Structure 1
Amino acid sequence: MVKNFVYFVLFVLAVIAAAELIGIQSFTIGSMTISMLPLVFAIAIAMILALPFLRKGILKKIYSKKNVDFASKYLIFIMLPLMARYGSDVAPQIREILQVGWVFIIQEIGNLGTVLFGLPIAILIGLRREAIGATLGLGREGELAYISEKYTLESPEGRGVISLYVIGTLFGTMFFSIFAPILLDFGIRVEALAMASGVGSGSMMSAASATLVARVPEMENTILAYASASQLLTSFIGTFTMVFLAAPLQQVVYKFLVRGDKK
């Protein structure tokens, strides 16, 4: 057991080292320049090595259910240093942030978008109770905790939120790394994009803000401060928005769309 865990830790360090050696890679599509972060390459490497036909020998031990469950369970502790980093980024720009503080508050209304737009689409493609877990939010730690407490993770709602959590972890970072610079090329202000980076996911926020910094390095402090402040507010206020606004609204919309479901 200890030997397998050591292999697991060494594998993680090797993937991180390989991703850092690749570094930030940029490529141009038309007038748009897209930057890919080391985090994206780390996810891609881990995904490729997890393919069934490659998962043999040591890799089979590394990707054992016990190791995967361990990584998932203690992910929140790994994110704590990142949360401390958010605070250090916010403090130097606190005056500037307070001047536009109301914008950050209004931004939280965007958390209802997954219910208003995502839930009808989920129902349309055939999901039922799974849609409740999948569309309560972005399926990060807050939604995972709420759904697991209310329905348990073995329920259809639990399967929905777990599925979204996995998809967000695998593809969310890649999407944000690409989408943020594309919107920048469409003329959207970098401050607005930095605010929009804080969606409640540390990895997605880091990916979006880092690609913006790569494109506009002279505004690095402002970008990181706005993104970090938005992330902190989303993590805090977003919890109340989810519990008191998103969840009740979701139940109303779900019952309207799926009349036959009596649960």
Structure 2
Amino acid sequence: MKKEFGLMIFFVVLIVSVAELIGMQFISIGSTTITVLPLVFAVLLTMIFGLPVLRKGILKKVYSKNNINFSAKYLLYIMLPLMARYGADVAPRLREILSVGWVFLFQELGNVGTVLIGLPVAILIGLKREAIGATLGLGREGELAYISEKYTLDSPEGRGVLSLYLIGTLFGSIFFSIFAPVLLSVGFDYRALAMSSGVGSASMMAAASSSLVAIYPEQETTILSYAAASQLLTSFIGTYTMVFVAVPLQRFMYNFLTRRSENGKEAN
């Protein structure tokens, strides 16, 4: 077991090193610049090497059940340094952020959007308990922590939130790096877009804010501090919104929609 764990640590360091060597890539499509973060390359490489057809020999030991269980259990601890980084970005612009602080609170209304819109769609396409994990939020750190503690990541709910976490890491940052410049081009203020970058995902926030910085390099400090403050607020207040608003609402909607679906099948 110790040998398998050592191989996993070496593999992680290797993958991270390769991803950092690739670095942040900017792909220009017309007037839009897509930002691809090293995190995306790290996740993509890890997923490729984890395919059953390649999972042989040393890789089979790296992706052993013990290592997978360990990674799932302690995944949340690697998020803690991010919280410290957000605080460091916010502090220099704290007075300016507090002057418009009430605006940040409006974004919390969007935390229930995944339940109101995503849950009915998930059930419609055939998801069962996986829909609970997949639609509680954007499937980021807060939702991952809640679902893993309540249901464990080996449950259907855990598979739902983990799948969304990986999809968000791969495609979410690319989507946000495109979406932010597009909104900027139609007249949105860069500060408003910087505020909206903090959706609870470090990779999505970095992609969106980096795209804005590429367009307004002279406003880099303002953009990054607003984005970090928004991210910090989402991570903090969003947790309470999730527990006291999103979870009860989702439970009610899930019971109502699944009961209605079952009644419909019986009628047929």
Q: For the superposition of Structure 1 and Structure 2, which TM-score range results when normalised by the shorter chain?
A: 0.7 to 0.9
Q: Is the 8 A contact 2:76 2:145 kept in 1?
A: no
| CA distance, structure 2, for counterparts of residue 68 and residue 2 of structure 1 | 14
Structure 2 equivalent of residue 75 of structure 1: 75
TM-score, normalisation: structure 2: 0.85
Task: Give, as a single letter, the amino acid of the residue that structure 2 aligns with 1:254.
Answer: Y
Shift of 1:69: 2.3
Q: Report the Cα offset of residue 65 of structure 1.
A: 2.2
**127-136 vs 216-225, greater mean Cα deviation:** 127-136
| Change over 3 Å in CA distance of 1:95–1:27 after alignment to 2 | same
Residue 6 of structure 2 is matched in structure 1 by 6
- What is the Cα deviation at residue 64 of structure 1? 1.8
Contact 1:144 1:162 in 2 (8 A): yes
| 1:36–1:178 CA contact under 8 A, matched in 2 | no
Q: Gaps (5+ residues) in structure 1?
A: none
- For structure 2, the 5+ residue unaligned runs are 263-268
* Structure 2 CA distance for partners of 1:184 and 1:37, relative to 1, 3 Å: farther
The match for 2:47 is 47
Structure 1 residue 187: Cα displacement:
4.0
Q: Secondary structure at the match of 1:259?
A: helix
Deviations, residues 135-167 of structure 1 (Å, cap 9, x unaligned): 111223322343345555555444433433343
Which residue does 2:64 correspond to in 1?
Answer: 64
Code of the aligned partner of 2:147? I
Pairing 1:1-263 to 2, within 5 Å after superposition: 1-151=1-151, 153=153, 155-260=155-260
TM, length-normalised to structure 1: 0.87
Q: CA deviation at 1:49?
A: 2.0
Q: In 1, Cα distance between the equivalents of 2:15 and 2:153?
A: 30
Q: 1:74-127, CA deviations, whole angstroms, 9 ceiling, x for partnerless residues?
A: 222222222111111001111111121111111100101101111111121122
Q: For the structure 1 residues 4 and 36, does the alpha-carbon distance in structure 2 shift closer, same or farther, using more than 3 Å as the test?
A: same
CA distance, structure 2, for counterparts of residue 253 and residue 18 of structure 1:
44
CA contact (8 A) 2:40 2:169 kept: no
Distance 1:132 1:75, change over 3 A: closer
Summarize the Cα distance change of 1:191–1:114 in structure 2 as closer, same or farther, 3 Å threshold.
Answer: same
Q: Pairwise CA RMSD of aligned residues? A: 2.5
Separation in 1, partners of 2:3, 2:158: 33
Q: SS in structure 2 opposite 1:88?
A: helix
Q: Percent identity?
A: 69
Name segments (4+ residues, structure 1) moved above 6 Å. none
**Alignment length, in residue pairs?**
262
What is the distance in 1 between the residues matched to 2:34 and 2:46? 22
Task: Give 2:122's aligned amino acid.
Answer: A
Q: In terms of mean alpha carbon deviation, does 181-190 or 64-73 score higher?
A: 181-190
**Is contact 1:34-1:181 (8 Å) kept?**
no
In the TM superposition, residue 45 of structure 1 has moved relative to its aligned partner by 1.9
What is the alpha-carbon distance in structure 2 between the residues aligned to residue 68 and residue 171 of structure 1?
23
Please give the alpha-carbon distance, in whole angstroms, between the structure 2 residues aligned to 1:184 and 1:110: 20
Aligned counterparts of 1:246 and 1:198: Cα–Cα separation in 2: 18
Q: Aligned letter for 1:137?
A: G
| Cα distance between partner residues in 2 of 1:55 and 1:155 | 23
